[in-house]
Amino acid sequence: MYGEVEEISTLSPSMIRIVLGGSGLEGFTPNESTDQYINAYFIPENASYSPPFDLEEVRALGDDQRPRPRRFTVRHWNFDTQKLTIDFVTHGDQGYAGTWAQRAQIGDRLQFKGPNGSYKPDTEADWHLLAGDESALSAISASVESIPESKPCSVFLIVDGPENRVDFTTSPLHKISWIYRSVVPNPETALLEAIRNHEFEDGEFDIFIHGEAGEVRGIRKYLILEHQIDIKSASISPYWRRDHTDEAWRSIKKQWLADQEMDT
């Protein structure tokens, strides 16, 4: 499956929104998960092929030709127009996905598989706790927008600075706390400290915590030890690892997750 770039907009200095459309999206079937994602394939600049392509065939062309897979949350699927919205985090010239998004032009194609997903806010919970960084912003935004306006919700988002905020639909009972790395003493623990200092509401709460591996791990350990959460019912997962490329993180992620289980 593939989509053609139809709209490009800059949401912040570190985020670009791209809307995909076209006949290549026929058969796209969204699920009910608010963290639903696609596995997109980004082609090296010197590639001898373009979307749509046979994945097994191009993988056989060698490492310098193979497409690089990256996972992206679906920000929105418009049933009426059959258009798919994806928000890309950019890091200058680093990475395949962000670089592609920065250079994208109308008519460019992006091939992918999916969508898949596993989280949707629990309607039976008394309140909701969500936290993450730019990599989780799309999933958190979609999740909060699906939570009833009458349901309490506490959200913690860390970004580089005020200019990196990307606002979304909320209600007065949805408390959104933005944390800026540029002004906190220790950016790597700022998200944990914000949650630690939060006055937790009464009742059972639903949990969605995603982002940088070390930060997520610290929050996970705190919630288990201090709030006795049922980790099996919580959605807590690392999307990326500081100072690691996506490939390097993938190579150690399984062991990292195994080690994390020993924290408590």
Domain total of the chain: 2
What average pLDDT is seen over the chain? 94
| Domain stops at, among 90, 116, 142 | 116
Q: What is the CATH number of the domain that holds 180?
A: 3.40.50.80
Number of residues that this document lists for the chain: 264
In a domain, 83, yes or no: yes
Burial of 18 (0-12, 13-18, 19+ CB in 10 A): buried
Q: Are residues 131 and 243 in the same domain?
A: yes
Q: Which residue has the higher pLDDT, 46 or 182?
A: 182
Closest CA to 151 of 192, 94, 201: 201
Closest CA to 155 of 191, 125, 180, 181: 191
Domain holding 41, by residue range, is 2-116
Q: What is the CATH number of the domain that holds 91?
A: 2.40.30.10
The helix (H) or strand (E) run that includes residue 252 is helix 246-260
What are the pLDDT digits (tens) for 118-143?
A: 999 999 999 999 999 999 999 999 99
Cα separation, 212 vs 222, whole angstroms: 16
pLDDT confidence of residue 62: 86
What are the pLDDT digits (tens) for 227-260?
A: 999 999 999 999 999 999 888 888 999 998 999 9
Inform me whether the pLDDT recorded for 149 exceeds 80.
yes
Q: Are residues 139 and 225 in the same domain?
A: yes
Mean pLDDT across 40-53: 92
DSSP state of 22: S
Q: Give the amino acid at 203.
A: G
Answer yes or no: are the C-beta atoms of 75 and 85 closer than 8 Å: yes
Q: Are residues 37 and 104 in the same domain?
A: yes
In a domain, 121, yes or no: no
Answer yes or no: are the C-beta atoms of 27 and 1 closer than 8 Å: yes
| Domain stops at, among 116, 150, 172 | 116
What are the pLDDT digits (tens) for 50-104?
A: 999 999 999 898 888 999 999 999 999 999 999 999 999 997 677 789 999 999 9
